[in-house]
Amino acid sequence: MPAYLHDFANTALAYAHNLLPVLAACLLLELLLPLGRATLASRVRGAGFWAAYVVITTAFFAAFNSLWTSLGLRPLFMLDISVLSHSEHAALRWPAYIAIAIVSTILGDFFYYWFHRFQHTSAFLWRFHEVHHAIRDMNAFNSAHHWTEEIFRIPFVIVPMTLLINWNTGYIPAIIGAILGAQGIYEHSATRISLGWFRYIIPDNRFHRMHHSIHKSDWNRNFGSGSAIWDILFRTARFPRRDEWPEVGVPGVAEPRTMADYLFMPFRRRDDTIAAQSAENVTVK
């Protein structure tokens, strides 16, 4: 137990150390260059949801990581791309660092892309993912997924990816990793700062906003988070027009507003009409 608590504390602190600067940076962008609606109330409750998310998922993964490490399983394939960054010239190393980080993100996002699509086609998984999609006042702080989603990622993303391939990226400057790691929060931010043409590689907030759109014509699009490549290849990409910033949410489903809503929403019984509307949201046309 002491070892578990030690792992839990270290993991939680590391998570917070990475999360808080990203939230602060996105908040600053939202305040300086706002786009759409983002209220103080939504940010306050979103901060609470993030706190619960970090504590619960960290507690679970501290136990899972210990068990997984003890099994000593090895991946089927090893991919070493670190040689790309082994140059004596800094002018060549930095493009290589960036390319390696982006390629690694794209490869990893393949597994997440298909898991995310399954979340939208499985009525069971949608009940949990719907908590995230029910958000109407979406911004960097008010963007947390339901705490169960990380648990579901284990059999669908983490285990397959870990058993299939391990790629050695070699040294990657921390700043590059931090920027790519921040993308998952930035893509929910309510700011005019976008990536322009670069969103064809890495999704930005305008691209991901279409995925959350309340309009039925936009459903089942833009599943990628770390990369837009898989959406393009599998024809689920929906690139926004310059002036597009749709309302978001799930028709007939209220946004979680209390901690009880956030924690227990998937487990509650719902009105038949709302349940039917929710089921319609997961049907791929």
**Contact predicate 283/126, CB 8 Å:** no
| CA-based nearest residue to 182, from 233, 143, 235 | 143
Per-residue model confidence as pLDDT tens digits over 221-245 = 999 999 999 999 999 999 999 889 9
pLDDT tens for each residue of 46-86:
999 999 999 999 999 888 888 888 888 888 888 777 776 77
Please tell me the least confidently modeled range out of 68-77, 175-184, 213-222.
175-184
Let me know: does 13 contact 55? Beta carbons within 8 Å.
no
Task: Give the pLDDT of residue 284.
Answer: 47
* Exposed e or buried b per residue across 214-236, where buried means at least 16 C-beta atoms within 10 angstroms of its C-beta: eeeebbbbbbbbbbbbbbeeeeb
Does this model's pTM top 0.85? My answer is yes
Would the pLDDT of 285 be above 50? no
- DSSP H stretches of helix in the chain: 2-32, 40-71, 90-121, 123-133, 148-153, 159-164, 174-186, 205-211, 229-233, 259-264, 272-281
Count structural domains, the chain.
Answer: 1
Give the Cα separation of 100 and 176 in Å (integer).
Answer: 10
**Span 101-126, average pLDDT:** 93
Residue 189 structure tokens? 């931010």
Domain that holds residue 84: 2-281
d(CA 279, CA 235): 23
User: How far does the chain reach from its first CA to its final CA, in angstroms?
Assistant: 49
* pLDDT band at residue 267 under the 50/70/90 scheme: very high
**Top-confidence residue, 167 or 118:** 118
